[in-house]
Amino acid sequence: MLHREGKATIFLSLVVLSALNGLVFWLAPNLAWLQNLILFGSVVLLVIVLQFFRNPTIQINANDNFVLSPADGKVVVIEEVEEPEFFQGKRLQISVFMSPFNVHVNRHPVSGFVKYFKYHPGKYLVAWHPKSSTENERTTTVIERPNGVQILYRQIAGAMARRIVWYIKEGQPAKQGGEMGFIKFGSRVDVFLPLDAKVKVELNQVVKGARSVLAEIA
């Protein structure tokens, strides 16, 4: 199944690639090797675009004590940091990097309601850059669980990601594993947890959105 965010990009890709192949067949009707090369490259590019916007059906690993990964990708940060925007204090940060080959649907790591949401325009540093969390284009979402514990997560655009999409606003309920947004073409999601959270992943571990457990919390 393809994600709705890919409709315009896929359509545009089909139009451009079809026009390119038509132009080559018209300008070089006797160069079969060139026609085949352009056709092969077009098919490869289209497959890459289609796989980027895939949205497979998943079985959500729901549990009130779990903080699930908000995205498919690889764990690139596990450390205690100062979170200046909302908590203004120390939190445990776990970051998941999404390559262009990962599913790019972003999901709520916990259930509750949206306590805080803000979009920040910014730079497009590579997603693993230490300053990308505070200087890149990004969104910040805080989910307050029924017991009052607050979890912050942040969509971060990378060097290739030039559009962040979100489907939430303050005051809305959030369901663990439910879609909250999408980031196009390589990006990262940071999750900020209480310091007493029990981390269940390791650096460079591959994780799956709404299925892999990042941490356990009270």
- Which residues participate in catalysis according to the annotation? 187
Q: Would you say 183 and 153 are in contact if contact means Cβ atoms under 8 Å apart? A: no
Contact 160, 132 (CB under 8 A): no
Quick check: helix, strand or coil at residue 28?
coil
Maximum pairwise Cα distance, the chain: 71
Q: In 3-state terms, what secondary structure has residue 135? A: helix
Closest CA to 189 of 82, 76, 87, 95: 95
Residue with tokens 């309601």: 113
CB under 8 Å to 81, separation ≥6 — which residues? 90, 91, 92, 93, 192
- In order of 48, 89, 137, 144, 211, the CA distances from 165 in angstroms are 20, 28, 11, 21, 22
Helix (H/G/I), strand (E/B), else coil: 23:
helix
